[in-house]
């Protein structure tokens, strides 16, 4: 992708057909890590609490590395950062089953999980950053707004689909072959497809315009309230994911069918992926702030139903409904993040959001695992409802932030200014 002139071609004409399957498969290792680590540790070591702590270690590593990786990508380009990360992450994933099944102390197990998270390439955040840059710098102005909305919807749907397929693959491989096989499969995917994603021609978009570090907005711009509320909301969505998966694992463990938990968890992602794609056809007059409130409300109501369910059938039904809320909520949050991203900081903000989800997912998995062991699965199943309530509360806070912003000369935060005013090209 060396051409830099703005033209009237579609987004896919700039990316090529092969970009999307490669980018999708590059997401799967990240989608399989937390579930695979949790399933393996619970199966091998026999402790839901330890499994949750190990998942938390993955998340802690991811959140520490996320902003650093995003900043490095914004400065150096994706290829120089993603190629070594993919290779290191694949090697660490290969080693993890040996560590888990050995007689090494729990501290070594947690260290290995932390290193896996630290080296996570976060292909989803990198893909969003690439799409934003291509839309801003290479599409004709009349295409940008609609293409941006559809692109963010697709990216979130791809995430949700990956998080459906990831747990399902983990569940199938763990149930029918062995608990270590999903981690080995994630290692192969990381080595092959993360590398292919890093080497794809679209990886050059972040450096193709000769952007210098001086053109990047200062890091303090990431600490503004309109950005921080999105980070907090994605953190809460991660809390929802982690508490749902772990409480579901505890629920099925009490029924001596722990491997089925991953398959049931995948049910939530079916509606999530479908609704995430459907968001792209919603009218633009349906403002993002109100989409946030609507879909977060659906999430909270279904999470309450999940907490009150006491049968496998009832839990499965509530998981399906929960998916109808969480997918569109994520689309909305990432769309707002794309609009509010400071100049030159798109990769940074996307990795920060991805890290927030991963960290909170892992930390809530640890807390939920401890609650499940101390008080039982029924108590642990209340935690997803609390997380969904936080998402709703932050949606209300976002309304306040936007109302205040509209009183300033800058205007509404709904306007994606980065898309309206691309930097010079050519």
Look up the CATH number of the domain holding residue 221. 1.20.1250.20
186 and 55 in contact (C-beta within 8 Å)? no
| Residue 298 lies inside a defined structural domain of this protein | yes
Nearest in space to 273 (alpha carbons), one of 348, 164, 110: 164
Calculate the average pLDDT of the chain.
77
Domain that holds residue 176: 22-411
Q: Quick one: average pLDDT of 17-39?
A: 82
pLDDT band at 178 (very low <50, low <70, confident <90, very high): confident
Confidence of residue 7 (pLDDT cuts 50, 70, 90): low
Phi and psi, residue 310, nearest 5°: -130, 10
pLDDT of amino acid 300: 94
Number of domains in the chain: 1
Burial 107-138 (b: 16+ CB within 10 A, else e): eebbebbbbbbbbbbbbbbbbbbbbbbbbbbb
Q: Confirm whether 111 is domain-assigned.
A: yes
Backbone angles phi, psi at 7, to 5 degrees: -145, 180
Mean pLDDT, rounded, for 266-293: 74
pLDDT at 386: 94
Return the half-sphere exposure (C-beta side, CA atoms, 13 A cut-off) of residue 202: 27
367, part of any domain: yes
Q: Which DSSP category does 343 fall into?
A: T
Does residue 162 lie in a domain region? Answer: yes
> Is the model more confident about 216 or about 311?
311
Query: What 8-state DSSP symbol labels residue 7?
Result: B
Q: What is the pLDDT of residue 205?
A: 61
Half-sphere exposure for 109 (CA within 13 Å, toward CB): 23
Q: Is the pLDDT of residue 289 over 50?
A: yes
- Range picked from 156-170, 293-307, 328-342 for highest mean pLDDT: 293-307
**CA–CA gap between residue 298 and residue 285 (Å, rounded):** 20
User: Is there a domain that residue 8 lies in?
Assistant: no
Model confidence, pTM: 0.69
In a domain, 42, yes or no: yes
């Amino acid at each position: 992708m060396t051409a830099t002139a703005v033209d009237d071609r579609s987004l896919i004409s700039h990316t090529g057909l092969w970009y999307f399957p490669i980018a999708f498969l590059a997401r799967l290792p990240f989608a399989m890590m937390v579930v695979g680590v949790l399933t393996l540790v619970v199966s091998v070591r026999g402790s839901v609490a330890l499994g949750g702590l190990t998942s938390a270690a993955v998340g802690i590593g991811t959140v520490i590395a996320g902003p650093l990786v995003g900043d490095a990508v914004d400065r150096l380009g994706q290829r120089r950062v993603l190629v070594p990360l993919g290779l290191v992450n694949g090697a660490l994933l290969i080693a993890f089953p040996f560590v888990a099944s050995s007689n090494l102390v729990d501290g070594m197990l947690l260290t290995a999980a932390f290193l896996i998270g630290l080296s996570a390439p976060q292909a989803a955040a990198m893909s969003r950053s690439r799409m934003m840059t291509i839309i801003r710098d290479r599409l004709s102005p009349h295409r940008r707004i609609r293409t941006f909305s559809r692109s963010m919807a697709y990216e979130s749907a791809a995430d949700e689909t990956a998080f459906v397929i990831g747990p399902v693959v983990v569940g199938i491989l763990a149930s029918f072959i062995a608990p270590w096989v999903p981690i080995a499969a994630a290692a192969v995917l990381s080595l092959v497809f993360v590398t292919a994603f890093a080497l794809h021609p679209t990886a050059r978009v972040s450096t193709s315009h000769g952007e210098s570090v001086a053109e990047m907005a200062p890091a303090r711009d990431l600490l503004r309230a309109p950005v921080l509320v999105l980070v907090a909301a994605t953190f809460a969505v991660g809390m929802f994911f982690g508490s749902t998966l772990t409480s579901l694992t505890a629920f099925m463990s009490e029924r001596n069918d722990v491997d089925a938990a991953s398959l049931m968890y995948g049910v939530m992602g079916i509606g999530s992926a479908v609704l995430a794609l459907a968001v792209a056809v919603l009218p633009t007059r349906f403002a993002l702030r109100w989409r946030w409130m609507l879909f977060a409300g659906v999430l909270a109501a279904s999470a309450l139903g999940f907490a009150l369910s006491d049968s496998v059938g009832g839990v499965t039904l509530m998981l399906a409904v929960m998916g109808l809320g969480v997918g569109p909520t994520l689309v909305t949050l990432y769309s707002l993040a794309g609009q509010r991203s400071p100049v030159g900081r798109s990769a940074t903000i996307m990795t920060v959001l991805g890290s927030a989800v991963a960290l909170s997912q892992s930390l809530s998995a640890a807390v939920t695992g401890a609650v499940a062991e101390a008080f039982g699965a029924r108590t642990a199943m209340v935690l997803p409802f609390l997380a969904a309530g936080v998402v709703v509360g932050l949606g209300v806070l976002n309304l306040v932030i936007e109302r205040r912003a509209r009183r300033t000369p800058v205007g509404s935060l709904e306007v994606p200014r980065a898309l309206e005013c691309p930097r010079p090209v050519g």
